[in-house]
Amino acid sequence: MNAAIFLSFLLLAIVSIVNATTEWWGDLRAHLNPPKAPAFYDVTYDDECPQGLKYDAIPDFVYFGTMISSMNVDDNEECVQKCLEKPRCKAANYFQSISFQEQGFCELLSETQLDNPQLMRPFIKATYYENIRCRDVDAIEIEIDQKPRARPTKEEISDIFKKISSKATEFRARFRAARK
């Protein structure tokens, strides 16, 4: 009888101590420790895409989702090109070469971080790539056509201040008239 009571008490103590969670310990670390470099997009050249490739990159993170294939590659551009060659590939992880390795490592993925954000993890010397596509000719023309506007001349600035001053004076006069 005492043994049964002792075992039930022990089981109750163990169950109350254990705190179960479905969250992986890295989820919180990934959330609280953002990467040092912001996400960016890059453009590279490919024979299939004469205008070059365009993709979004998230440095120091990888996606641990469903993998199509993995391979050694010379650089990140080769990894992105391999993904573009496979119709099922939607994203890629590139791991930079380690000191004793000459090549980096590439994982081609059949899903993106939007499919399951919980599978994004911080990973040093790695980059996650998504939205891999050929650049559009239209996008290039837009980039070329967007020239910075010339700075306004001193006369234009003076005219703007005169207009603002007259509008402010008019506003004050109307405000005072409305208060009376």
Are residue 97 and residue 74 in the same domain, yes or no? yes
Are residue 86 and residue 127 in the same domain, yes or no? yes
Quote the pLDDT of residue 130: 94
Question: Residue 71's closest CA among 85, 57, 61, 59?
Answer: 85
Are residue 111 and residue 174 in the same domain, yes or no? no
pLDDT (tens place) for every residue of the chain, 180 residues total: 677 777 676 666 665 554 444 444 444 445 544 555 555 555 555 567 777 788 899 999 999 999 999 999 999 999 999 999 999 999 999 999 887 778 999 999 999 999 999 999 999 999 999 998 887 766 555 555 566 667 878 888 888 888 888 888 888 888 888 877
Name the 3-class secondary structure at 1. Answer: coil
Quote the pLDDT of residue 15: 56
Q: Is residue 75 in a domain?
A: yes
Alpha helices by DSSP H, the chain = 2-17, 25-32, 76-85, 137-145, 154-179
CA distance 39 to 57: 6
Q: Is residue 131 in a domain?
A: yes
Q: Is residue 3 in a domain?
A: no
Q: Is residue 16 in a domain?
A: no
Domain that holds residue 60: 23-142
Are residue 170 and residue 87 in the same domain, yes or no? no
Work out how many domains the chain is built from and give that number. 2
Q: Is residue 2 in a domain?
A: no
Bridge partners of 120, per DSSP, are 63
Question: Residue 46's closest CA among 80, 69, 93?
Answer: 80
Are residue 104 and residue 165 in the same domain, yes or no? no
Are residue 160 and residue 116 in the same domain, yes or no? no
The answer, as to whether pTM is greater than 0.75, is no
Are residue 62 and residue 136 in the same domain, yes or no? yes
Are residue 122 and residue 156 in the same domain, yes or no? no
Q: Is residue 134 in a domain?
A: yes
Q: Is residue 31 in a domain?
A: yes
